[in-house]
Structure 1
């Protein structure tokens, strides 16, 4: 049998839960279902189970605009974020709309019917849904496969090699020598946490990353929550965080040498004048050419100063039985190697899409306002900011989708399709030099150099464009509702 809903939301992570709330709040006359391939909600926060898993954005911006974050720590651990999501779906009745164990396998649009038909795998059984609008909230990476480079000699290594995306509870590192390969957000989270129990932890990096420390608790926010109504205190703190982040990003882009000097200077203040900051904490690129890593309460620097952890900047020649032999000739002895070497980008969870029988090749399309795709009707995807918290953009995206749905109903139209008017110069979808982006750049849609095809990566601009701006700019409303036949 085929079930019909006005909107099918795919994914029950932060984006999907936020989408469900906005549908209920802004388009309450629309029926919806949330299809989740896993057996519980949470997305990233349910998948990743490695030691110390936490947010790399503060929860005042990673949290929802409609659901204040009320815990003391602004930089929250994974279980706390999952608990927050659980509270949210129960509080707003979203849990009743989620279908777990439904993994999307295909999606096809029919202009004649003005419907998407989506198929899903439910325990080996194929089930079908139709919907007037499809909202993809599946994130941007492959849940089934992380990225690990080909290292020579891995079969010779006597210890265990694990990618943090597939961490299991049986991995024991207490009293053992651990090497974490990588220098991104996952590595800087793992190292100080594992150093609490391991004999020694080495972070092996090919090149350094910019790292900034901030307190895990926001004292001003916690004080305001005690003396002001919760929503007012949350709103003030949220805007404070947004504006400070935007200021930091603007300075980094406009005065990169000054920003670089400041960030590296803060690391030097943490580790002292004798530490080789030039080798281990001075990237060759400018700040925000890749995402800046956040460490709470200087925990990484504390582990380095205590001697429980170290950073080695070198390249791998090969694995050997005792550990890893480096190009410099040095041997890193290890019992456990964690390959925190990145993600595999996978748009739309790798699901095949088609429009009127023609397969959709995402690289042939251009992003519209960072959420829809040229010539693809009645479909939006939630894709957060690269220079700020994911939720800030996903929240605006969900609100904009409900504006479109309401306008379609008011105008009696069944279809909305972004259409380019005139020439739009294509540019890469993501202006990032990070490896995971560059590996997938040819598979991603493009963006343009002008509105509405250009990604702002700026929350305040997007508020004006998505919450208050017009909805007709290069957006085609079509496929009117058929006239109802009169009773004889």
Structure 2
């Protein structure tokens, strides 16, 4: 082992769901390894601390968006942002994680030195001061989108006389009482904002270029709440989590295999809310369910605000923004005092950190995912990119558990390099897959920067949690592809070790 140890065994980037989850898993499963978390913000929570727009909530149930080790105890399974922050803060405090967090430090660059088996990571504070920290292993829990620059749809608001707000930068204590609001977009953010603002605003219009498939469900899970009354908390949570994972998996596969049947079911649910004669044009996308994420409408809140006359949905193309609102290409003017641009996010890889190995920049779009958690020929680095068809935390949990297994194996074998080796010969056999066969705008826009994914495991980012969980929890860590070596001149290179093993 190296004579001079790094500052920490593991450096975790980000104190959101992914980072807090990894720290908790380490406390339980890799307690002999030291770690620290660097977080650019002044609070934990990541997405749930950044977004402050009205109604901010999960669009997944908290029995799967919650961690596998920490039961969700609230009555509502579709939780608002403050409740999710309370959950994360309680975990950080009860498990001693908060004392490991360095707030107000943004990671600028990370260079891996193979001869030292350590990452040299540069962080920067708000006042421009830079600090260097070293770690043997780097765990990126920095999310999937750009915190600084959301997607700019290129609208010209120069003539508009009202306020223009992007949900990612919601003004504190913003008063919209009695205002006419147009929300541009039809994704989860827009579907959340519209009913939440409708109670105070004069009227809220959701302006969509293309409809989105929506499904309604109660915010409270009756089965979960019943089980909590008759069973121990952890048992009730485990059963509910299992139920909801199976339901998510079934629903997704049903949508892919029998899309017309699923369309019929979604429309039937909307008509139950809006009436049998309701015109479904604005709720009938030109694509099949789960070719983009479905939008959740908890307790029919969007439909209730539409029935009350406080909200409406309009499908059309924008011609221009005028002084008093939005002119559509049809000629219709949607009057507005406030325009909210819920037009989407911009993807970001590795938290926009300048990642390099021995000074050579890492091009992630040239590397393959390894088990949805590491990257080909890139040592001692793991990442979380959650599921598109299920809750983010499902991936965060199994990735954290797997990396704890990797860390323990390194400790047991006296190795300090863990590298998923993809040789040129093996790479020539790989067939590339469409990493995300989703038509969502943010996915399509970001494909060019995304890592590669193969048609065959383990060189792919799967969208099948049940399969992934079995592989990452029960599969061999030392599988002949993930190689474990020691740093130093006498150690074999990973590809040489692989050949020797063969």
TM interval, short-chain normalised = over 0.9
Q: List runs of 5+ in structure 1 lacking aligned partners.
A: 484-488
1:9 and 2:15 equivalent? Answer: no
Select between 257-266 and 301-310 the one with higher mean Cα deviation. 257-266
Q: Deviations over 1:138-192 (max 9, x none)?
A: 000011111131123x111000110001001242211010000000000000000
Q: Which residue of 2 aligns with 1:142?
A: 146
CA distance in 2, matches of 1:83, 1:171: 23
Q: Deviations over 1:68-117 (max 9, x none)?
A: 11110000000010011111101100011011001000000011111111
1:475 and 2:468 equivalent? Answer: no
Q: 1:446 aligns with which of 428, 452, 456?
A: 452
1:481, distance to aligned residue in structure 2 (A): 7.7
Q: Which residue of 2 aligns with 1:192?
A: 195
Q: 2:240 aligns with which of 237, 242, 246?
A: 237
Q: Secondary structure at the match of 2:135?
A: strand
Q: Secondary structure at the match of 1:445?
A: coil
Select between 469-478 and 319-328 the one with higher mean Cα deviation. 469-478
1:122, distance to aligned residue in structure 2 (A): 2.2
Q: 1:91 aligns with which of 94, 106, 128?
A: 94
CA distance in 1, matches of 2:175, 2:329: 29
1:273, distance to aligned residue in structure 2 (A): 3.0
Q: Secondary structure at the match of 2:433?
A: strand
Q: Which residue of 1 aligns with 2:178?
A: 175
With over 3 angstroms needed to count, the CA separation of the structure-2 counterparts of 1:404 and 1:3, relative to structure 1, is closer
With over 3 angstroms needed to count, the CA separation of the structure-2 counterparts of 1:394 and 1:302, relative to structure 1, is same
Q: Deviations over 1:252-287 (max 9, x none)?
A: 11111211221122212221233220x200011111
Q: Secondary structure at the match of 2:158?
A: helix
Q: Which residue of 2 aligns with 1:409?
A: 411
CA distance in 2, matches of 1:377, 1:176: 54
Q: 1:373 aligns with which of 372, 375, 381?
A: 375
CA distance in 2, matches of 1:255, 1:275: 24
1:125 and 2:125 equivalent? Answer: no
Q: Deviations over 1:326-356 (max 9, x none)?
A: 0100000000010000001011121111112
CA distance in 2, matches of 1:13, 1:236: 25
Q: 1:246 aligns with which of 242, 246, 249?
A: 249
Q: Secondary structure at the match of 1:250?
A: helix
Q: List runs of 5+ in structure 2 lacking aligned partners.
A: 491-502
Q: Which residue of 2 aligns with 1:460?
A: 466
CA distance in 2, matches of 1:222, 1:146: 38
Q: Secondary structure at the match of 2:134?
A: strand
Contact conserved, 1:428 with 1:441, CA < 8 A, in 2? no
Q: Secondary structure at the match of 2:131?
A: strand
CA distance in 2, matches of 1:455, 1:376: 16
CA distance in 2, matches of 1:174, 1:215: 28
Q: Deviations over 1:388-433 (max 9, x none)?
A: 1000110000000011111111122111111125121122332211
Q: Which residue of 2 aligns with 1:255?
A: 258
Q: 1:163 aligns with which of 161, 166, 170?
A: 166
CA distance in 1, matches of 2:431, 2:106: 36
CA distance in 2, matches of 1:378, 1:454: 18
CA distance in 1, matches of 2:289, 2:452: 23
Q: Which residue of 2 aligns with 1:345?
A: 347
Q: Secondary structure at the match of 1:448?
A: coil
Contact conserved, 1:416 with 1:476, CA < 8 A, in 2? yes
CA distance in 1, matches of 2:462, 2:104: 35
1:266 and 2:269 equivalent? Answer: yes
Q: Which residue of 2 aligns with 1:116?
A: 119
Q: Which residue of 2 aligns with 1:486?
A: none
Q: 1:395 aligns with which of 394, 397, 401?
A: 397
1:322 and 2:324 equivalent? Answer: yes
**What is the RMSD of the two structures over their aligned residues, measured on CA atoms?**
1.4
CA distance in 1, matches of 2:384, 2:351: 12
Alignment of 1:217-232 (within 5 A): 217-232=220-235
Contact conserved, 2:116 with 2:488, CA < 8 A, in 1? no
Q: Secondary structure at the match of 2:210?
A: coil
CA distance in 2, matches of 1:329, 1:479: 69
Contact conserved, 2:6 with 2:118, CA < 8 A, in 1? no
Contact conserved, 1:425 with 1:449, CA < 8 A, in 2? yes
Q: Which residue of 2 aligns with 1:282?
A: 284
Query: TM-score, with normalisation over the residues of structure 2?
Result: 0.94
Q: Secondary structure at the match of 2:52?
A: coil
CA distance in 1, matches of 2:70, 2:488: 36
CA distance in 1, matches of 2:171, 2:160: 20
